Amino acid sequence: GTTGNPKGVVYSHRSTWLHTVGVMTADSLGVSERDVILPVVPMFHANAWGLAHASVAAGSGLVMPGPDLSPPALAALIEQERVTVAAGVPTIWMGVLPELAGRDLSALRAIPCGGSAVPRALSEDYRAQTGLPILQAWGMTETSPVASICRIKSTLADQDEDALADLRASQGLVSIGVDFRVVGPDLDPVAWDGESRGELQVSGPWIAATYYDDERAGESFTDDGWLRTGDVATVSPEGYLRLVDRTKDVVKSGGEWISSVELENEIMGHPKVAEAAVIGVSHRKWGERPLACVVVKPGEELTKEEVLAHLEGRIASWWTPDDVVFIDEVPKTSVGKFSKKDLRSRFEGHVLPTDAG
């Protein structure tokens, strides 16, 4: 985790080997001897998503990015080393995209992305510029980490582009060997209707079953051995997972939950927005209301009114942020995720217009 005292996740040689084999399967990343892998993720974080292990097992090329993770340097590596699979978090790919124009990317076949939800607009920007949409994956240190990946089933491939783009924005199907359930507050499984929400729980041969010498293990694992991920999810009738938020990041307003991730994705669909993070801010009547923290693209100008107008018709009206603030950058954790903790601390005393007086 990125907050509080770290917990030691227990892996075994068996779990790491089985995860490696899982990553090599065709409906995961399909790593083979013919590939050149570029993991733009730190080795200290879940072993660079297990990509280094998969590369060695398959005998593929492996390119380590080194200390220069600037967008120009990464774009040059992808072209010069004929990279076929380049993996990183969304913030990495946001920066790299403008640097790819005019480069030879003919070797590139997959851009796996995880760590946080990939905005649909970012994935579609990559599809427009490179011919490849971002391949959304999901996992956490406790899942070794790859637990699901968004491949389009053959039975769904003939949908229109809008439907396919929406599907690609989900976390996809769980990996072979991984089992999952989404349970409501009563611990009963929710319906696979793409709407009902609950906590995602997983189990499997490379899913951790405990923490090393840590009494907090009881908080994260159920009595019957499932990992409580802390993610709020829905499941489509076809089995596609969609994470709508972290339980700690949802905006709890008037007894209802507002997904900060869904709001962020819609705001980042605005052509003038570089990044956006949504947090809950204290409100006397509703408990919490959403505050949108927005980073504007260089050279652009944007107003609060434009952001709110962009959201009209895209979200439920009561989800509309009560305020919009413009910041220079969204703070990041050591692994490139948005640091909501830092934003909550920064705006702890922020008075919303709807709560003034």
**Would you give per-residue pLDDT tens digits along the chain (357 residues)?**
455 677 899 999 999 999 999 999 999 999 999 999 999 998 887 889 999 999 999 999 999 999 999 999 999 999 999 999 999 988 899 999 999 999 999 999 999 998 888 888 899 999 999 999 999 999 999 999 999 999 999 999 999 999 999 999 999 999 999 999 999 878 899 999 999 989 999 999 999 988 888 777 778 999 899 999 989 999 999 999 999 888 788 898 887 889 999 999 999 999 999 999 999 999 988 989 999 999 999 999 999 999 999 999 999 999 999 999 999 999 998 778 899 999 999 999 999 998 876
> Which ranges constitute the DSSP H helices of 239-318?
260-267, 304-311
User: In angstroms, rounded to a whole number, what is the distance separating the alpha carbons of residues 154 and 135?
Assistant: 16
- What is the β-pairing status of strands 287-296 and 273-283? antiparallel
Give residue 352's pLDDT: 94
If you search the block for the tokens 């699979």, which residue do you land on? Answer: 85
User: In angstroms, rounded to a whole number, what is the distance separating the alpha carbons of residues 111 and 341?
Assistant: 28
Is-contact 327 295, C-beta < 8 A?
Answer: yes
If you search the block for the tokens 């709890």, which residue do you land on? Answer: 252
**Other residues' Cβ atoms within 10 Å of the Cβ of residue 356:** 6
**Two structure tokens written together for 328:** 């220079």
One-letter amino acid for residue 96 of the chain: V
User: In angstroms, rounded to a whole number, what is the distance separating the alpha carbons of residues 162 and 15?
Assistant: 38
Give residue 179's pLDDT: 97
Give residue 210's pLDDT: 87
Q: What are 326's strand-pairing partners?
A: 294
**Two structure tokens written together for 137:** 């994956």
Please enumerate in sequence order all residues whose Cβ is within 8 A of that of 293, keeping only pairs 6 or more positions apart, or say none: 276, 277, 278, 279, 325, 327, 330, 343, 347
pTM: 0.77
> Which ranges constitute the DSSP H helices of 184-320?
217-220, 260-267, 304-311
CA 330 from chain centre, in angstroms, equals 15
Count of residues making up the chain: 357
One-letter amino acid for residue 133 of the chain: P
User: In angstroms, rounded to a whole number, what is the distance separating the alpha carbons of residues 12 and 144?
Assistant: 10
Q: Which fold has domain 1-246?
A: Rossmann fold (3.40.50)
Give residue 4's pLDDT: 60
1-246 shares its CATH topology with 251-355: no
Is-contact 63 38, C-beta < 8 A?
Answer: yes
Angle between helices 51-58 and 13-24 (to 10 degrees): 70
> Which ranges constitute the DSSP H helices of the chain?
13-24, 46-49, 51-58, 71-80, 90-96, 120-130, 161-168, 217-220, 260-267, 304-311, 340-346
If you search the block for the tokens 């796996």, which residue do you land on? Answer: 112
User: In angstroms, rounded to a whole number, what is the distance separating the alpha carbons of residues 207 and 228?
Assistant: 11
In the chain, domain spans? 1-246, 251-355
Q: What are 60's strand-pairing partners?
A: none
Q: Classify domain 251-355 by CATH architecture.
A: 2-Layer Sandwich (3.30)
Pick the closest to residue 179 from 147, 145, 209 (CA basis): 147
Give residue 357's pLDDT: 64
Pick the closest to residue 87 from 152, 128, 136, 44 (CA basis): 136
User: In angstroms, rounded to a whole number, what is the distance separating the alpha carbons of residues 123 and 204?
Assistant: 29
**Other residues' Cβ atoms within 10 Å of the Cβ of residue 318:** 12
Give residue 248's pLDDT: 82
